[in-house]
Amino acid sequence: MGWRKTLKLVFLIEIGVLLALYFLFGSVLARPIPTATMLLGGVKAEFPAGEYQPVSSQEWEGFRFAFGFRLFSRPSSEAEKEFAGLMANGFPGQGRLRLPVSLFDQGLYVFNRRHKGYVLTAVWRQGDRWYWADIVSFSTLDGSLNFFHRFLKSVEIGGRAAGERLGRELASIRSRLTPLNVQSPAELVLMIGAIMLLVWLLIYPLMKWSGAAPRNEADFEFCTPQATLVVRGLGRRSSPCCVCKRGNSLLVYKFRRQVLEIRLPDEREHLSVKKRSLVYKNQRLIPDNEDDFQRWLTAASLSLVQGNNF
């Protein structure tokens, strides 16, 4: 198979891979987190459906749920002072986004990158009590973020809902998080596709250059550019080349530099025809078109007969 057909096959395979990834990300990995409305610790909201466990740490009391979500609360006699401290120097982390939000008396929203995912944290004050909610995502897909925002907008404490502006603020935060930080399944597939396209834009001109005719093309009887050289050894290596004839030799060029010489009078016995290609020892030359192949046969004085398997 010539290098052009090989690239077309690889391109079709990559398209198939992108479609499979879109299905995987959209239908499997990015399924919405199922929720159920519950009243826990004085907080009524849409929590992750399923089992949960009570947890405590120092003065904090709360619950741990599936999907990496937690909710804590604790009393504080100096809530305003502590909140100011969090705004000033709390939540160390990479790629940090820290913004005040309209969550009850005072609210704070924090985004941190962690390894291959991210952590979302919301802290708010209602009277003299602190509330803390966070979720850990082990991927950059936006399923956890969508749930977390839905949870925050559904929170009610003592019959009081979160601030009316919260929905607009969360939408603004989502717009500030670029696809480099958090992606929808479609955005992730588009990013992978863009990387593949960039690779193609680099590889195709390089392949064309590899199969280009030498600069002194006029010095040869003929040159047949964009052929394919296949070398069999520890593995099969395939690359574009240009086959030229000068005197009694067929010369093979890659990147306009000679890489192989076939001396026809002395080495014709090592030449054979196999599936519209020219076989020389452990190397195979595949023409770009039928006219080029006929030139090779005429130059080598060969007929269209089957040679040894390659």
193-224 pLDDT, tens per residue?
899 889 989 999 999 999 999 999 999 999 99
The one-digit pLDDT tens for each residue of the chain (310 residues) are 688 888 888 889 988 988 888 887 766 666 788 999 999 989 999 999 999 999 988 788 999 999 999 999 988 777 677 777 766 666 655 557 888 899 998 889 999 988 889 999 999 988 888 899 999 998 888 999 999 999 999 999 988 988 778 999 999 999 999 888 898 888 888 888 899 889 989 999 999 999 999 999 999 999 999 999 999 877 788 899 999 999 889 999 999 999 999 988 788 888 888 888 999 988 999 999 999 999 988 888 764 444 444 4
pLDDT given for residue 307 in this prediction: 44
Residue 219 CA to residue 231 CA, distance in Å, equals 27
pTM: predicted TM-score of the whole model, two decimal places: 0.72
- How is domain 211-300 classified at the architecture level of CATH? Roll (2.30)
Name the β-bridge partners of 62.
55, 72
Residue 166 CA to residue 155 CA, distance in Å, equals 11
- CATH class (in words) of the domain with range 31-183: alpha beta
Name the token pair of 129: 């009590």
H helix or E strand, kind and range, residue 190: helix 185-210
Q: Is 125 helix (H, G, I), strand (E, B) or coil?
A: strand
- How long is the chain? 310
Cα 156 to Cα 45, 103, 131, 151, 307: the distances in Å are 6, 10, 12, 10, 81
Boundaries of every domain in the chain: 3-22+189-209, 31-183, 211-300
Residue 244 CA to residue 255 CA, distance in Å, equals 13
Judge whether 36 and 49 are in contact, CB under 8 Å.
yes
Region class of 212: left (phi > 0), else alpha (psi between -120 and 50), else beta: beta
pLDDT given for residue 89 in this prediction: 63
pLDDT given for residue 305 in this prediction: 44
Q: Per-residue pLDDT tens for 101-120?
A: 999 988 899 999 888 899 99
Residue 48 CA to residue 307 CA, distance in Å, equals 68
